Amino acid sequence: MTLFKNKYRIETTRLKHWDYSSDGEYFVTICTKNRMEYFGEIRNGIMGLNEMGNAAAICWQNIPSHFPFTELGAWVVMPNHVHGVIIINNVNPNPRKDAINRVFTGNGNGGITGKYNPMGKNTLGEIIRWLKGQTTFEIRKNINLGFGWISRFYDHIIFGEKESEEIYNYILNNPWKWEQDRNKPENLWM
């Protein structure tokens, strides 16, 4: 951990120097606050979604509606987390020049300092912010005022077909491994 204004801060888990609006497959895990099992239960290796789990699943399925440059790969809603693959395919290769970027640097990066600004840039972080916000809104509106996510999420950039196949198998088989993994947070990330 490093100090910022004399306070410790947690380092980013994002890959340094990677543009998270880049085309590719991203494996994502998002956990509920305090790992509360809000979304249902697993019986005989099959996830049974409750009302909150259905809300989370619907929001996940709606990602491409709100972010048309995305597709969904394998995904699963588990009792206290969601695993899924988000595929980014930005069809507009022209970098934007607008108020959010302030300065056009010619390489797709913007901002006053020329550093990458994730807002309005079709990034993985923007997608996850929307997903968490929309899911929280839907669940708190109708079901449970106490629902929440942890502030961060885990991501892994998928490189290559072999890695993609392993991750898809992991996601699809995750309900079968629930009993052995449920209380081992390190296993939530693969």
Residue-wise pLDDT for 141-156, tens only, equals: 988 889 999 988 999 9
Give, in degrees to the nearest 5, the angle at Cα 60 between 64 and 27. Answer: 90
Please tell me the predicted confidence (pLDDT) of residue 97.
Answer: 43
Distance (Å, rounded) from C-alpha 121 to C-alpha 110? 10
Number of Cβ within 10 Å of residue 65's Cβ equals 8
Domain boundaries, the chain: 19-91+123-174
pTM score of the predicted model: 0.77
For the four alpha carbons of 115, 119, 122 and 124, in that order, the dihedral sign comes to positive
- Percentage of the chain with pLDDT > 90? 61
Give, in degrees to the nearest 5, the angle at Cα 113 between 87 and 98. Answer: 60
Domain 19-91+123-174 class in CATH: alpha beta
